Structure 1
């Protein structure tokens, strides 16, 4: 039984996939990564599943990578770091490759890996209050394994506006950047996500899966070499002194030495 995600399917085949670590702001732990990967594998042959709605319990959609998990990587050797980075990359690739449309219902905040989760959705909706940010560089690391999906969604020019600065930006700017399709009221978020899912109830599920696969193939921006490069880049970042300082500063509730704000 899953402990970090919850899956519910209605009679029509609309799947609700919820992140259920609200006490940890739905941060991506090793267990959540594994459970999301398992979910994606189970979805591959389910043509009775017509669309998947991804959301998060509590006040936050997803705060990014679990910092305890990151701290463990700081204490590991490179082989272990590479293996853990590959698990994260595999999970993102598996969800990105779902045969069903993936619809994001984004609320509260989406930081770091949470932005990556939004970028693998076919359609992402957000509330006016939702904040976004690729905040990794504040911790001395980089948005590596999510990078291919962020760049595929935004394009290089737009991505470079937010990829390195760690700035927090609004849902309206997320629309401009291409992360979010549209902004809806908090009260209407789930009903609007369901309405997006209902569009697929009249379509042939096999054709939808094939069309989505073709769209991914034609873009040619998520090839194996780029994914492998992102895995190595994350492992490299974890080995730098800045990552050690950034993670330590977070847990010690102090500013890292580079922060002069």
Structure 2
């Protein structure tokens, strides 16, 4: 069985982590989250690593939460949901605090936690065909664990819109609001990412780490332990709520949730 994600470090010092669940559009589940935390830690601790590239196989970068995982967590206790949310928060912080430069290579659907991963990378290069959504509210949930990183990237004003609307938006729109840095033709994506990696590899490795640390220290959105615990509690409470369970039921059954206003 293929790994849900894998790590390769080439002779240039590019550590590539590849999400490898194309059959489910690289959706998250509890095992993938833990696996990614381990892989990012391995890349961080390997002296060869100069740059981290986050990429994926298949049509989508990451379509958010895996359906089977959502089904399990919908029936789980608040304590189990809290533990699960803490792991997702840990994944985001592990990527966000990676000491070397990080690059996201993005195509297709980028939903929920996938938006979080993109937000935690220093450089995001995106295919023009990609689309984004923070659609948790449509399920009676909220983009809790990823929220500090997404807000830091797109800003409070845009987060206020997209957190509550749950609407899809294009790669061009994602660039306009600062979520991603460059939008390219799909056929140019590989070459543009390679150009970005080559540019980084021509910079001083320690200087880049120091420069990245400067940004982290000056960042007004600080992810403190209290904030991480708060966001984990928000999602745990919502998953265990009547509204969250109804949203999950409706989504899985492809029906309209009870709270929706009908024409």
The one-character-per-residue Cα deviations of 1:156-188 (angstroms, maximum 9, x if unpaired) are 112112111110000111011111101011111
Deviation at 1:255, TM superposition (A): 1.9
Report the Cα distance in structure 1 between the residues aligned to 2:128 and 2:72, rounded to whole angstroms. 35
Report the Cα distance in structure 1 between the residues aligned to 2:235 and 2:123, rounded to whole angstroms. 27
Contact 1:47 1:206 in 2 (8 A): no
Match of 1:99 in 2: 99
Deviation at 1:147, TM superposition (A): 0.5
Report the Cα distance in structure 2 between the residues aligned to 1:18 and 1:7, rounded to whole angstroms. 7
1:40-51 alignment, distance < 5 Å: 40-51=40-51
1:192-207 alignment, distance < 5 Å: 192-207=192-207
Deviation at 1:223, TM superposition (A): 2.3
Deviation at 1:122, TM superposition (A): 0.5
Report the Cα distance in structure 1 between the residues aligned to 2:42 and 2:213, rounded to whole angstroms. 17
1:9-20 alignment, distance < 5 Å: 9-20=9-20
Deviation at 1:34, TM superposition (A): 0.8
Match of 1:154 in 2: 154
Deviation at 1:50, TM superposition (A): 1.5
Kindly indicate whether residue 257 of structure 2 is the aligned counterpart of residue 256 of structure 1.
yes
1:33-182 alignment, distance < 5 Å: 33-182=33-182
Structure 2: state its 5+ residue gaps.
Answer: none
Structure 1: state its 5+ residue gaps.
Answer: none
Match of 1:247 in 2: 248
Report the number of matched residues.
Answer: 261
TM-score of the superposition, structure 1-length normalised? 0.95
Deviation at 1:2, TM superposition (A): 7.3
CA RMSD in angstroms comes to 1.6
Distance 1:208 1:45, change over 3 A: farther
Deviation at 1:43, TM superposition (A): 2.0
The one-character-per-residue Cα deviations of 1:204-229 (angstroms, maximum 9, x if unpaired) are 32332232123112214122222221
Report the Cα distance in structure 1 between the residues aligned to 2:162 and 2:251, rounded to whole angstroms. 21
Deviation at 1:42, TM superposition (A): 1.1
The one-character-per-residue Cα deviations of 1:114-166 (angstroms, maximum 9, x if unpaired) are 11111111011111111101011111111000111111111111211211111
Report the Cα distance in structure 2 between the residues aligned to 1:8 and 1:195, rounded to whole angstroms. 19
Deviation at 1:93, TM superposition (A): 0.6
